[in-house]
A and B are shown apart, each in its own frame.
Chain A
Amino acid sequence: MSRRAPLDYEINNPLITSRYSFSKIFKDLPLFISLLTILAFGLFMLYSASGQSIGMIIRQLFYISIGLSLMLIVAQLKPESYKNILMNSYWFGLLLLIYVLINPADGYATSRWIDLGFFNFQPSEVIRLILPLSLVAYLCRRESSHRTSDWFITTIAAFICFYLVYRQPDLGTGLIVFVSGLIPVFLAGLPYRIILGYLFGLAIVTPYIWSNLLLEYQKQRILTLLDPEADPLGTGWNINQSQTAIGSGGLTGKGYLEGTQSQLDFIPESHSDFIFSVIAEELGLVGILVMFFLYGFIIWRVFRISFNSETNFERITCSSLGFIFMLFILINVLMVIGIIPVVGVPLPLISQGGTSIIVHLLAFGVILSMKKIVT
């Protein structure tokens, strides 16, 4: 009784401060403001990267508005109230992935897109969020400790998603989805002996898959992914141009709208996956570090929320989303600077693209909803 009293007192307090009402809507004002800042920064860079296209900015603004609205709506929900929905959203995600394989949108070489008439979107972008959330919800469906079967079920669930994305075909994104699914499982306490077992199993199965199940072209594709120097797809040119852009920017950059690599279209996909090169070229190392600092601040707020929240479900959800957010930033940056092969991962909250922006903001909505309001 005594524990609840202060909370009741706070809620029923007639002298509501303005800070309190902000906290109620935005939950974590510093996080919200830093999100707005990086979105604004993204728009600012997108204007340059898109060749100063107002149309693209307006479209992106539209997506951001949808994303922010959804984020704020989700932020108001009680986590317990949507835990079950999250758990079952896995099936919805699975449905999307199967649907896209059967009925892909026209005009693309691969079956990655679903045509909604007004909007094409990639289910693999959505599954990145749905999979970890549903797995956390599943693992935390009871307060009691986990059963051994839970670990296998979640691993298999993640693997199914990986396989469906891999079949699009998109091995890179499939792996990212798989890792996104495994992060919450690991954080929830996947026993180390099982991890060792997985690794052992993988070591045994891999040569068998390699020599018996994979076709020659698939092997080639995997080899290409592992070794970007062997370059049958011509991605080397892209990476070279991207590195040229980043390197030529130097410490302070060539100046906003002054990047020759970006403005003259030498950077491929400069508005989406390769927007980092544009930032580096025009704002230099300093600009990149400022951007990293903003990201870092956001991540710090996320983990602060995670470690302060009440339930295991909330904590693991927030941490997982924090790690997935970091994972995406890292993969995008490492890809653009040429350390890992090119996979289609946009720079979170900055790259152009409706699905990516909305999904990431939804994730922040989930995180915000788990913020414990401390008084």
Chain B
Amino acid sequence: MKIDQGFTNRSNDLRRLKQRSSVLFLLVFLLIVVGLTKIIKLTVIDRQEYFTESEKNRIITIPIYPARGLIKLSSGEIVAENIVTHQLAVKKSLFDKSTNEIEDLKEMLSEDWVEIEKSNDEIINGYDEVILFSNLNSKQLAKYQVNKARWPSIYIKTQLRRFLPHKNVFSHVVGHLGEVTKEEARQDDDFIYQLSSYLGKVGLEKKYESKMRGERGIRTIEVDVYGNQIRELRRSFPKRPSNLFLSLNLSLQTLAREELSGRKGAIIAIDPNTGFIKALVSSPDYNPNVLNKTEKGSPYPKEQEKYAPFFNRAISGSYPPASTIKPFLGLLGLEEKVIEESTVIDDEGFFQINGEGRKYRGWKEEGHGKVNLNKAIVESSDVYFYELASKLTIDKISNFLSLFNFGKNTGIDLINESSSVLPNRNWKLGNIGEPWFVGDTVNMGIGQGYITVTPLQLATSVSAIATQGKIFRPRLVERIGDQLIEPELLFSIELNKKENWKSIEKSMISVISSWNGTAHNLYKEDGMTIAGKTGTAQIKSLVDQELTVQEEYEGIRKIETDRDHALFVSYGPLPNPNLTVVVIVENGESGSSVAAPIALKLIQKYQKEIFADV
């Protein structure tokens, strides 16, 4: 009985336990189903996705950047090189702003020059890596190394930076580098810039950026979760960039710069037979090393700031061509048979359209008397060209000048070249909103009015006279690595009468050789033969009919920036010219006494240089 009851109790208890267990088993079963479903989703359905994820975790690629290509002259002289610099940098994500690590460092390094790029507060924006101090010298490096435990989040970053041994001499040719911006980094699909790396911002550095940066290599490594390298999986080597070799001549460039120092202006010296540039100077200039962060100080003296030292006048400055346009118009006159060499007019000091109305005055009050084409160029008679221009009409002038590359970009291998203005009827209607007047044509006869040129464009146009019609694209880079750049003939001008070239050239030679020439001051008995033309570009119009030209100008020149620009275009030595030189001195007033001697010196210097080479 007792046993039976115990047995019954036992079986009852067991049944209840099994019931209760079933409830829990059901719960467990549900959880197992949930878990297994998730595991199968992970391992079977989404496997590929997670596998990719795990590969991304462990495999990282580290770019290898080649050193930037050098810029040299064809003679081998180094224009831009790379030097090792040491920076102190910080990773923003790891930086504890509450410490005064930066202030502390600043204090210790400040006794010597160090470029302090960022202060504590500036670490907020931009990339993760921020460079704090640049260009540490060996003493500062040593100081840092000894005490580096004091600045745990700051580390040394070694970079190659750009250095121009000749400093300012090539500033407007080479340009400078700057830290890559987010936009620049985004824009370029072919090349991935490293954070805080430098790229060309202007000049050749920018124009040839893609040639000089090379191609980056990639190191593929396996890392652990802390980013430690476990092993290298593969490596592709970076492609070395090409060096650039420039056609510039160091002595010529240096001389040109010296001649312009203290003035505003530009000089272009170009080989008319090839288009290769031998000197390109814009003044004032700047020290690119300061911007490249390899030299201390300011890129230019403070007082020059108002003269825009970064502005490349040689390719971007727009000036009226003034009297330098006269040979081209003379040529057109001969071609169109509007005049002949012997055609003589009476220059009484002014010109009136159809003999009435406004008086267009020449620079010489009393006039040049009887003037033919030669005398008009040699003495730079304005009245002769007023009359010639009015006979030629704007349409013919515009078409003809356009053959000489007026009003066009030359396509030089630099950036920021401005196009000059070669006006015609449509241009004036479109840009000024007025129809073309004959008066405009008359003004154009002396290169004033709407027409403007850049020094570079003027140099190519003048070269066309030197080569009897051949215009080559001006270039600075003669060779990229092993690849030679061939001269590029833009086009050739065919005159109806070939002798016309000679007669214009003869007049341009006489500008110097003839006793009455405007640049006779350059003349030497046994000197080389040079063709040239002076120009004096007015900035202020002379409008007061009551005063003489001289009297009115005396009032104007009191303000220095209103003074005339001095121009001189030339090529030589004849009969086989190898250099075209254009000199523009802003507010220099006199083409003959200021601009012309510079051109002569350059041509002479160049002959010596060539002779030395041979």
Give A contacts to B, CB under 8 Å. Answer: 143, 183, 186-187, 189, 241, 243-251, 260-261, 264-266, 280-281, 284-285, 288, 303, 306-307, 310, 312, 315-316, 319, 323, 326-327, 330, 333-334, 337-339
Contact = CB atoms under 8 A, between A and B. Distances in A.
Contacts of B39: 246, 280, 285, 288, 333, 337
13 contacts: A244-B50, A246-B39, A247-B42, A251-B47, A260-B54, A260-B57, A260-B58, A261-B54, A264-B225, A266-B224, A315-B14, A327-B28, A330-B32
B35 A319 contact: no
Nearest to B32: A330
Contacts of B57: 241, 244, 260-261, 264, 266
Q: What 3 A-B pairs are tightest by C-beta distance, nearest first?
A: A247-B50, A248-B54, A247-B42
A187 B43 contact: no
B50 A243 contact: yes
Nearest to B56: A244
Interface string B4-36: 000001100110111011011000100110110
A186 B40 CA distance: 33
Contact of B21 (A143, A281, A303): A303
B613 interface: no
B43 A251 contact: yes
B554 interface: no
Contacts of A186: 20, 23-24
A337 B36 CA distance: 10
A250 B48 CA distance: 8
Nearest to B6: A143
A251 B51 CA distance: 12
Given A247-B46, A249-B43, A266-B54, 15 more contacts: A189-B20, A241-B57, A245-B54, A246-B42, A246-B50, A248-B51, A248-B55, A265-B226, A280-B39, A285-B44, A310-B10, A319-B17, A327-B28, A330-B35, A337-B35
B222 interface: yes
Nearest to A260: B58
Nearest to A183: B24
Contacts of B54: 244-245, 247-248, 260-261, 266, 281
B43 to A, nearest CB: 4
A326 to B, nearest CB: 5
Interface string B214-238: 0000000011111000100000000
B53 interface: yes
B38 interface: yes
B38 to A, nearest CB: 5
Contacts of B224: 264-266
A312 B44 CA distance: 44
Nearest to B226: A265
Given A187-B21, A330-B32, A337-B38, A250 B14 contact: no
B49 interface: yes
A187 B20 contact: yes
A250 B31 contact: no
A307 B44 contact: no
Contacts of A247: 42-43, 46-47, 49-51, 53-54
A333 B13 CA distance: 33
A266 B58 contact: yes
Contacts of B34: 334, 339
Given A247-B47, A260-B54, A264-B58, A189 B16 contact: yes
Interface string B471-511: 00000000000000000000000000000000000000000
Given A315-B13, A334-B35, A251 B44 contact: yes
> Main SS of the interface on chain A?
helix
Contact of B50 (A248, A285, A310): A248
Interface string B44-84: 10110111011101100000000000000000000000000
Given A264-B58, A315-B14, A248 B24 contact: no
Contacts of B55: 248, 260
Interface in B117-135: none
Contact of A285 (B16, B31, B43, B46): B43
A337 B14 contact: no
B62 to A, nearest CB: 16
A336 B226 CA distance: 22
Contacts of B44: 250-251, 285
Nearest to A186: B20
Nearest to A252: B43
A253 to B, nearest CB: 9
B17 A315 contact: yes
Interface in B244-263: none
Contact of B28 (A244, A248, A280, A323): A323
A323 B21 CA distance: 9
Given A187-B21, A315-B17, A337-B39, A248 B58 contact: no
A249 B13 CA distance: 46
Nearest to B45: A247
A191 B584 CA distance: 108
Nearest to A312: B13
B43 A250 contact: yes
Contacts of A339: 34-35, 38
A334 B31 contact: yes
Contacts of A241: 57
A165 to B, nearest CB: 22
Contacts of A330: 28, 31-32, 35
A198 B53 CA distance: 46
Contacts of B14: 307, 315
A261 B54 CA distance: 7
Contacts of A244: 50, 53-54, 57
Contacts of B21: 187, 303, 319, 323
Nearest to A241: B57
Interface string B457-469: 0000000000000
Contacts of B46: 247
Contacts of A327: 28
Contacts of A323: 21, 24, 28
A193 B14 CA distance: 21
A316 B10 CA distance: 12
Contacts of A245: 50, 54
Contacts of A285: 39-40, 43-44
Nearest to B59: A260
Contacts of A187: 17, 20-21, 24
